[in-house]
Amino acid sequence: MAKKQKPLKRTPLKRTLLKRKEYNPEDFKNKEYKAKKYKKKEYKVKDYRELKAREPKPFVQLTSKEAFLKLAAFCAYQERCYQEIYAKLEEWKMDEGD
């Protein structure tokens, strides 16, 4: 007959408490925290709480006449751009394929 094995003893893991650094909210308002420097470039870390605290941009309401005028101005701008591009292509003689 085989010997009976003793059950394995499980020792609980020793957990050490993490020491948290206490932050003063005023510190975030006065300065920006900097990330580590890599390759001589400096990156600034934006505080997400500061970004969340900003008020959203107000929604701009336009009347139908104002919206039509803006759309017409944009279309005219696009048309001018196309005309300038075609003029340059003709000047450089690259538009002969059509």
User: Looking at the 3D structure of the chain, how many domains does it have?
Assistant: 1
pLDDT of residue 89 exceeding 90, the answer is no
Write out pLDDT tens, residues 16-74: 665 666 666 666 665 555 555 555 555 565 666 776 777 777 788 888 999 899 999 99
87 is a domain residue: yes
31 is a domain residue: yes
Six token digits for residue 33: 């925290």
Count of residues for the chain? 98
43 is a domain residue: yes
Residue numbers of the domain that contains 44 = 25-54+61-91
Question: What would the mean pLDDT of 84-97 be, rounded to a whole number?
Answer: 81
| Residue at token pair 């929604």 | 59
96 is a domain residue: no
User: Rounded distance, CA 33 to CA 1, Å?
Assistant: 69
User: Rounded distance, CA 84 to CA 92, Å?
Assistant: 12
Question: What local confidence, expressed as pLDDT, does residue 54 receive?
Answer: 76
1 is a domain residue: no
E strand spans, 16-97: 33-34, 44-45
20 is a domain residue: no
pLDDT of residue 79 exceeding 90, the answer is yes
